[in-house]
Amino acid sequence: MLTVLHALQGQLLAAMQRAFQEAGQPLDPQLAPASKPEFGDFQANGALPLAKPLGQPPRAIATAIVKQLTADPAFAELCLEPQIAGPGFINLTLRPERLAAELQARLGDPRLGVPTVEMQAPVIVDFSSPNIAKEMHVGHLRSTIIGDALARVLEFRGHPVLRLNHVGDWGTQFGMLITHLKQVAPEALTMADAVDLGDLVAFYRQAKARFDDDESFQTTSREEVVKLQGGDPVSLKAWGLLCDQSRREFQKIYDQLGIRLTERGESFYNPHLQAVVDDLRAVGLLVVDAGAGCVFLEGVSGKDGQPLPLIVQKSDGGFNYATTDLAAIRYRFAPGPGGDGASRVIYVTDAGQASHFAGVFQVAQRAGWIPSPCGVEHVPFGLVQGDDGKKLKTRSGDTVRLKDLLDEAVERTEADLRQRLADEQRSEDEAFIQQVATSVGLAAVKYADLSTNRITNYQFSFDRMLALTGNTAPYLLYAVVRIAGIARKGGDLGAGAVASLTFSEAQEWALVRELLKFDGVIAEVEQELLPNRLCNYLFELSQVFNRFYDQVPVLKAEEPARSSRLALCRLTTDTLSLGLGLLGIPTLERM
RNA sequence: GGGGCUGUAGCUCAGCCGGAUAGAGCGACGGUUUCCUAAACCGUAGGUCGUGGGUUCGAGUCCCGCCAGCCCCGCCA
């Protein structure tokens, strides 16, 4: 309905100009979707702010606007007679035939009315980013799920999206890992093929334990870091083996979640780190303080009111994460072939890194690495908390492994499903049970995360996310299943445009109006980067559909109502499937 | 000390650029099954939007103070 909205916006503004062109006041129709169904489809609040400057009652102003508006034949074609309500709101209701026409246009449209962007510069979404040689844990859950959903929405809008996995594949911890590897599995370094190093987490723990206890191991580890940074072939080979092993483990999770990522770890930027510091020096931003290369931040002061530095070169000459992040920004905005030529770079990381990114972005900005119309954004999200409101931990107090968390969701779903089958005396084969349990379980985890505003902390609860009622994945998936049921029972949902759509019931019109909101919601998510807006919409759509399904017969209806209702079913399932798909959630035929 | 985020119904959360009587879901209570999957639907109860000021036609929303919780603050990421 965005095109309708824009048309109305123009008509309202023109009407206001005709009515009050002498006023010399800024005119804004303040057009918005109606706050309640009884107010129609849209409301224009623009009369109210004019009351004082014009010295007229707001309802009189609204009346004057409406008079001009109704004189516009284009408006009369779109809307019924506007209503003035309350202190001076102008309520607009679209003509039923316009609504039906809008719906008709979406029936044959795989994009469901969502336009494709013209601009073709790449958008980078930086998300997930686990550390090599460590396991993915609950801390990676939100970044991975939210980042994937945002990437999908941007891709759907037509942006070329680069999904970057900025894995932690460099740093001092590799000294001890490589030293340990060389001593424990020297044969791995001489073999041509990748070897299975087994449980990397245990491997990491062993290396860490030795590093903490054994002084000579520490010394060797430190020397190993230097060798690695110096490009020693054996050290590099060992490093590569560790990365490969980690990569295989990460990939299992990504496959399970259906998430596609391009790995480009921190090490990728190593060749560019020195240039970052050189550039900063060249533009006069670099200050050496206590031996460290710093850029002092503007508008950020520390304890004694002194400006706070961003350290880009340690006093020992080494680089740190700020250097790497700066190198990444510089590379991502730089034109090809030595850069990505991005127009927008989005970082999906936890809110705790907000000040770090603010500092890095400021320095990149001042260094001139972010070209003018382009933008860099931190997309923060809150902590994952347990039922107790504290950071989520296992019963023994350990960090929750992502794999365990996902497995438990699937197991719980399976147990639920088996119970239900028994209660209903339904019989399904094993493959069906596994498929439904996996699909619903993972969908529930994703949806629960995506459906709350990402900025606040998120309270993780299997019971809530797997509930079959309320704003949950199972509820939405069930709406899709119901429509699939109608199709199985003889409803033809595959037909093209229906000759004429006719609606008579309130539930039908409610569904029509809800379906037409889809394009606006997508535009909002693209701009605000808030997936919960899409979740809320899909939940409301499911509710409106369930009301319709409950109260209005489809298959048993007489023509022409039957075809029109089937068209509503078809558009509902298409919208839910597309919307859930953009959240990374596949739908089911039966459950 | 400085900075950031959060505070809305018993619980979990929405709330768009400041707009009409602040909304859902869960839980509670009460209904609905010859009928497309009741994993659903309908209804009732439940609020000093942390708090005190300010801005204005109008504030949950914007500004200032305060309270509470969480997070960040020089060589980890």
| pLDDT for A294 | 93
Which of A347, A382, A417 is a domain's end point?
A382
Task: Say how far A546 CA is from B10 C1', in Å.
Answer: 28
Question: Within a domain: residue A511?
Answer: yes
Tell me the two tokens of residue A54.
């014009």
Q: Are strands A344-350 and A375-381 parallel, antiparallel or unpaired?
A: parallel
For chain A, how big is the Rg over CA atoms in Å? 29
Which of A73, A94, A115 is a domain's end point?
A94
Task: Say how far A490 CA is from B42 C1', in Å.
Answer: 28
pLDDT band for position A324 (50/70/90)? very high
Task: Say how far A528 CA is from B62 C1', in Å.
Answer: 19
Residues A79 and A61 in one domain: yes
A82 φ/ψ sector (left φ>0, alpha ψ -120 to 50, else beta) = beta
Look at residue A496 and tell me whether its pLDDT is greater than 70.
Answer: no
Strand partners, A94: A79
Nearest residue to B6 via alpha carbon and C1': A456
Nearest residue to B37 via alpha carbon and C1': A482
Hey, what's the torsion of the CAs at A52, A58, A63, A64, to 10 degrees?
0
| pLDDT for A451 | 95
Q: Which long-range contacts (CB under 8 A, 24 or more apart) does A309-312 make?
A: A310/A359, A310/A360, A310/A363, A312/A276, A312/A277, A312/A280, A312/A286, A312/A363
Look at residue A571 and tell me whether its pLDDT is greater than 90.
Answer: yes
CB A396 within 8 A of CB A134: no
Residue A63: which of A87, A34, A99 has the closest Cα? Answer: A87
Task: Say how far A110 CA is from B46 C1', in Å.
Answer: 44
| pLDDT for A495 | 60
- The nucleotide minimizing the C1' distance to residue A45's CA is B19
Residues A576 and A446 in one domain: yes
Look at residue A194 and tell me whether its pLDDT is greater than 70.
Answer: no
- The nucleotide minimizing the C1' distance to residue A52's CA is B57
pLDDT band for position A195 (50/70/90)? low
CB A275 within 8 A of CB A176: no
pLDDT band for position A134 (50/70/90)? confident
The pLDDT of A450-463, averaged and rounded, is: 92
Round the average pLDDT of chain A to a whole number and report it: 91
| pLDDT for A197 | 67
Question: Within a domain: residue A394?
Answer: no
Look at residue A447 and tell me whether its pLDDT is greater than 70.
Answer: yes
The pLDDT of A487-498, averaged and rounded, is: 74
Q: Are strands A292-301 and A89-92 parallel, antiparallel or unpaired?
A: unpaired
pLDDT band for position A80 (50/70/90)? very high
A299 backbone dihedrals φ, ψ, rounded to 5°: 80, 5
Task: Say how far A387 CA is from B11 C1', in Å.
Answer: 11
From A271-275, A387-391, A412-416, the region with the lowest mean pLDDT: A387-391
Nearest residue to B25 via alpha carbon and C1': A470
Q: Which residue has the tokens 């070209």?
A: A371
Look at residue A230 and tell me whether its pLDDT is greater than 80.
Answer: yes
Tell me the two tokens of residue A31.
């057009």
The pLDDT of A562-568, averaged and rounded, is: 92
Look at residue A81 and tell me whether its pLDDT is greater than 80.
Answer: yes
Residues A445 and A331 in one domain: no
Question: Within a domain: residue A113?
Answer: no
- The nucleotide minimizing the C1' distance to residue A460's CA is B12
Nearest residue to B17 via alpha carbon and C1': A30
Nearest residue to B19 via alpha carbon and C1': A45
Look at residue A465 and tell me whether its pLDDT is greater than 70.
Answer: yes
Residues A529 and A425 in one domain: yes
Question: Within a domain: residue A104?
Answer: no
Task: Say how far A580 CA is from B15 C1', in Å.
Answer: 22
| pLDDT for A55 | 87
| pLDDT for A325 | 96
CB A72 within 8 A of CB A42: no
- C-alpha span between A83 and A81 (Å, rounded): 7
Task: Say how far A557 CA is from B30 C1', in Å.
Answer: 32
CB A217 within 8 A of CB A210: yes
Residues A273 and A251 in one domain: no
CB A530 within 8 A of CB A583: no
Nucleotides of B under 7 A from a protein CB: 1-7, 12-17, 19-20, 24-27, 35-42, 56-58, 70-77
Domain boundaries, position A222:
173-258
Question: Within a domain: residue A310?
Answer: no
Look at residue A188 and tell me whether its pLDDT is greater than 90.
Answer: no
Residue A60's CATH number: 3.30.1360.70
Nearest residue to B39 via alpha carbon and C1': A468
Q: Give percent above pLDDT 70 in chain A.
A: 97
Task: Say how far A513 CA is from B30 C1', in Å.
Answer: 31
Look at residue A43 and tell me whether its pLDDT is greater than 80.
Answer: yes
Task: Say how far A112 CA is from B34 C1', in Å.
Answer: 39
Q: Tell me: the pLDDT tens digits for A245-304?
A: 899 999 999 999 999 999 999 999 999 999 999 999 999 999 998 899 999 998 887 666
The pLDDT of A376-397, averaged and rounded, is: 87
Q: Tell me: the pLDDT tens digits for A360-380?
A: 999 999 999 999 889 999 999
ipTM (interface pTM): 0.95
Q: Are strands A123-126 and A344-350 parallel, antiparallel or unpaired?
A: parallel
Task: Say how far A49 CA is from B55 C1', in Å.
Answer: 15
Residues A130 and A273 in one domain: yes
Residues A231 and A178 in one domain: yes
Look at residue A29 and tell me whether its pLDDT is greater than 90.
Answer: yes
Which of A332, A364, A382 is a domain's end point?
A382
| pLDDT for A427 | 87
Residues A464 and A508 in one domain: yes
Residue A570's CATH number: 1.10.730.10
Residues A416 and A556 in one domain: yes
Look at residue A54 and tell me whether its pLDDT is greater than 90.
Answer: no
Residue A101: which of A201, A1, A30 has the closest Cα? Answer: A1
Nearest residue to B26 via alpha carbon and C1': A470
Number of structural domains found in chain A: 4
- C-alpha span between A87 and A61 (Å, rounded): 11
Task: Say how far A290 CA is from B12 C1', in Å.
Answer: 49
- The nucleotide minimizing the C1' distance to residue A469's CA is B39
Task: Say how far A308 CA is from B73 C1', in Å.
Answer: 8
Nearest residue to B13 via alpha carbon and C1': A452
Nearest residue to B14 via alpha carbon and C1': A536
Contacts for A399 with CB less than 8 Å, ≥ 6 apart: A137, A138, A139, A393
Residue A432: which of A414, A416, A444 has the closest Cα? Answer: A414
Residues A428 and A561 in one domain: yes
From A20-29, A94-103, A494-503, A549-558, the region with the lowest mean pLDDT: A494-503
